[in-house]
A and B are shown apart, each in its own frame.
Chain A
Amino acid sequence: MSSDKELQALCESGRYENAFSLIVQQYSQRLYWHIRKMVLLHDDADDILQNTLLKAWTGLSTFRWESQIFTWLFRIATNEVLTFLRKSKSLKQMPLEDRLDADQSLFTGDQIQKALQKAILRLPPKQRLVFNMRYFDQVRYQDMSRILGTSEGALKASYHHAAAKVEETLKELLL
């Protein structure tokens, strides 16, 4: 596990390719799951991950190392996800809830897990991000605040509100 200081030293000595290989090894899985939980389908998640890594690669030389590389990468991924969801909505693609039913090749969960995913999908995209990050990945509010650029108080309120809504929807779906 490389620290930010090691990565910074590699970049400052001009060895960007080594630094980036380490970043991919260290963060690609977490980034992928962060994206996948938002877009649900593997192909979409793969496309967004590639865009995220490409942007990270081209922006690595301008990264200031004042913030953690982890928050920077997650911020890029989050922006890519939100852009993707906006585009999907404007293109009037099949709703994610229906796509989850249609493509179950890479969904191994049971009925209750599927119901939970459907309940989460009924949240607005930004609230969904907050819920997923906190509920599944236990991301600290402090880190979430840096990634999403929102105050910790607002994030806590958003999560508790989202959790109440998901709980209610889940009960409805499982009746």
Chain B
Amino acid sequence: MTESRIPASFMAPGSSSFADFLATNAPDLLPARRTLPATNASDIAPHGTTIVAVTFPGGVVMAGDRRATMGNVIAQRDIQKVFPADEFSCVGIAGTAGLAVEMVRLFQTELEHYEKIEGTTLSMDGKANRLAALIRQNLGMAMQGLAVVPLFAGFDHESSAGRIFSYDVTGGRYEETSFHSVGSGSMFARGALKKLYREDLDEAGAVTAIVQALYDAADDDSATGGPDLTRRIFPVVHVITADGGRRLPDADVAEVADRVVGGRMRRPDGPVAALEGGN
């Protein structure tokens, strides 16, 4: 970082958005600013698969499996697909891993940049909208097979509750209630959560439900990785409450995963839900 005089563009008035600043001053650094040949590029880039998020009173939990696939090949067994976006929110990514990770980095910088310039954090909806804008810029690449579909979750201090947002490739932003999942195993995970979710889950209960849901996703979707008992690789789990966000230590997740796997030894399809009525 040996600099000469700070360039005039850095001193010029501008918006509080880092992405806007990049677009003006270093457009080549934007993930979506690329022209591709008109072919489908989806076979040559690793894809991330299943992300699940669950709210509970006082917070939200998000988790992702650890597998990245490239066609029929497992490209990576221990990829990280859930990242903190800032102190009170996190983002999980499904789709083209390389682009998605770059987009997460830009999103993290975007939130932090705004916070530093303005001296205050963006609202939860403001953050969700900024992410939508970044995804919208990627539409051209999505149409050539390089889609990025994130799931965004965080603790909203205004409503004192955990909130979840899902997106489509055009940048559409949808708020989800209670729980949601994206990626190739998402329908299986969502099916599991329909039966496991309760409004009065505590943090530990939400973590268990999410690990169960990921197990079911891995059970039926070849692109989603289950708990890897031999290598001791377990889902990345982020918990966000009013006190901030944190990644659960691997040892804690391992303990939950061992219990879930232990239960599946007796009943491979998982816990039984009541046929009628509530809990």
Whether chain B is bound by chain A comes out as no
Interface residues of A (CB under 8 A from B): none
